[in-house]
Amino acid sequence: MLDQITTRIFADGADLDGILTLAENPRISGFTTNPTLMHKVGLTDYERFARDLLERVRTHPISFEVFADEPEEMRRQATRIASWGENVYVKIPVTSTKGESMAPLARELSEDGIKVNVTALFTTAQVELIAAAVAEGAPSYISVFAGRIADAGVDPMPIVARSLEIMRQAPDSELIWASPREILNLVQANEVGCHIITITHDLLKKLDGLGKSLEQFSLETVRMFHADALAAGFTL
C-alpha cells in the first residue's frame, strides 16, 4: 500500500543520528525540526547542530525555525539560517506570540530569495494570507497543523482540501500536513492530495503496518496481551 502513496514524507525530529539514518531511507524526502524538538533532546547549540546536520545531508530539504518573536529579529535570524545551505528552508511562525501576522515578513523573505516554511497555520484564512505573501517569491512550504486541528475536535480534511485550492495562486509553494497523530493521517493526506506530511521518528516506525491484514493484526494483539501477562507473572 505504501507504494501507492504519492504524498512525500518528511521526518520530523532533532535526533542527529536518527536523521542521518533516515537520510538513507528512500521513503524519506526531507526533514523538519523546531526549537521544541531540539529542547526535548537536550540540544543547546542551535547553529552547531544545524551545521553538523547540513554537512552530511546535502540534498534533502531541511527546515530550521527562527526562535525570535519580533519581526526584525526574525528577519535577522532567517537570513542567517538561510545562509547555512542551499537545501535550507527557514520556518517562520504564522504570527508572533502576540498574534501579529508574519505575512509581511514571509513576503519580504520569500521575495528576497529565501525559501520559507510558514508554520503553525490552523485556518484557511491564514492560508489565504500566507499563500498571497509567497506567491511571487522563492519555493516555499505552508504547514497546516492538521493533527492539532483534529485535537480540537475539528475534521482537518476540509481545511486541507480548501488550502490546496487556495494555494493554486502560489505554484511554487507546497502544502505540509503537520503534526500527524497516526499513520491513518498519511492515508488521509494522500487522499486529499496534500504534497507533504511530516512524521515524527517514533511514528515512522509504524509505517510497515500500513495495509496490514486486520485479522493478522488482531491475532498479533491477542498474542501480545497473552505474552505480557505471562511475563508479568500474573496469577489469580
Q: Catalytic positions, please? A: 91
Where residue 99 falls (left for φ over 0; alpha for ψ -120 to 50; beta otherwise) is left
Neighbours of 169 (CB within 10 A): 13
d(CA 19, CA 126): 30
Where residue 75 falls (left for φ over 0; alpha for ψ -120 to 50; beta otherwise) is alpha
d(CA 168, CA 223): 49
Where residue 200 falls (left for φ over 0; alpha for ψ -120 to 50; beta otherwise) is beta
Pairing label, strands 88-93, 116-121 = parallel
Q: Which of 162, 149, 87, 151 is nearest to 121 (CA)?
A: 149
